[in-house]
Structure 1
Amino acid sequence: MAEHDVIDLLMAQHGRIRDLFDEVEQAPPEKLEAAFGRLTRLLSVHETAEEEIVHPYARRKLGDGQGVVADRLREESVAKRLLHALHRAGVDDPRFWDRLAELRAAVTAHARGEERYEFTRLRACTTPVERRAMAAAVQAAEALAPHHPLPGVESATANLLVGTPAALMERAREAIRRALGRT
């Protein structure tokens, strides 16, 4: 994504996440796993970057930033746990569609909360230069983020200590699978 403003970048990702939910829901059976994989990947890297970059900044910048971020982290925790359960059970699980609907509702409510209570206020109290710097930081964090959910890892420190090594191991496993001709 080429957005240079962190709020525009994150809002565009929210739109992409909505599109990916639609893609999963409309995927034929033979393409369902790949579509769900794309959704899982974007949700995972998006939330990691918010937890590492955006939420800490909002805590400091917004007058009631602690409360605003605490609410968002509770929402993220619920969504991560749902995504993790879905990912572990797989698309063939009989509860997949019900759990996917539950995940979509949780993610939609969370995105709405971010847009209303965090992003709007961050845009009002930051400069374009700050938002461009944050966008670059978010993109860097996403490049190093795990592609799968890590429930219970919802802070910048935990993401750096647990998420980055997990992401490196994921990338290594993916490279080995590609080298061996497995997907």
Structure 2
Amino acid sequence: MSRSIADQTVEELGGPGSVLARQRRDHIELDRLLHELDGSTGAAQEEVLTRVDRLVFSHAFAEETVLWPVLRRVLPDGDDLTRRVEEEHQEVNELVSALERDGLDSPERPARLARLVEVLREDVRDEEDALLPRLQERLDPEELRALGRRWALMRRLSPTRPHPTVSRRPPGNALSGLPLTVLDRTRDLVDAGVRRVPDRFAPVGRAVSSGLAAVAGVVERVPLSRRGDRPPTSR
């Protein structure tokens, strides 16, 4: 059985620039944030959850556009392996969308948060114990580093918010990625500004953010954005 990438040294993973090492660094940061989330409440909890979202959604988009197509190409069971992770990504999108929609006072919030943490930890285990070691078997260290560079670039150019109706596979995710990235990262800047400005200016910023969210909703539902998916992740 292949060794989990969690149990390997950086050198065994192909060096710090390898996609395996880059993925693991994100997983370590996610684990730290989830522990911080567990000990927080109210507005502080929302702040931590925002940082979790920004990490998770850019990470997942880079996987779905760069890594999973390679896995499906080099492994005979790659389609089944990646579909399981895509299902986890889909559930994360739906849970975070529900948390954002219903707010801090929702009676379902504790159960949703608990399930979100559970799914995120399952996702990390599936990737580190199953998918990524199989990828390591098929690619040499130089190929892993080249893939790591592509993954890192895509991560910096990825959406940062949940989009549950967008395809988890090409061509839909690739076609919707750029407009959603621009909209999400603009919203991130606007929302950060709202937290810093005097209260009398905050309603304007919130209105701008809501408008950008509405545009993103339109992009999500364009037929091209939904192409390539298959049950059970298609919506």
Normalized against structure 1, the TM-score is what? 0.88
**Cα drift, residue 173 of structure 1:** 3.6
- Which residue of 2 is the match for residue 88 of structure 1? 101
- My pick for the range that moved more, 72-81 or 123-132, is 72-81
Pairwise CA distance, 1:30: 3.6
Corresponding residue number in structure 2 for 1:172: 186
Other-structure match for 1:25 = 38
Query: Residue deviations 1:24-46, cap 9 Å, x none?
Result: 12125342221110011111111
Is the 8 Å Cα contact of residues 5 and 132 (structure 1) preserved in structure 2?
yes
TM-score after normalising by structure 2: 0.70
1:165 CA drift (Å): 0.4
Question: How many residues align structurally?
Answer: 182
Is 1:140 aligned to 2:153, yes or no? yes
Gaps of 5+ in 2: 1-14, 206-235
Structure-2 change in CA distance of 1:127 and 1:78 (3 Å)? same
Report the Cα offset of residue 57 of structure 1: 0.7
- Partner AA of 1:133 in structure 2: A
SS at match of 2:76: coil
Cα RMSD of the aligned pairs, angstroms, is: 2.2
For 1:59-70, list aligned pairs within 5 A. 59-70=72-83
CA distance in 2 between counterparts of 1:101 and 1:173 reads: 26
Identity rate of aligned residues, in percent?
A: 27
Task: Point out the structure with the larger helix share.
Answer: 1
Q: SS of the counterpart of 2:164?
A: coil
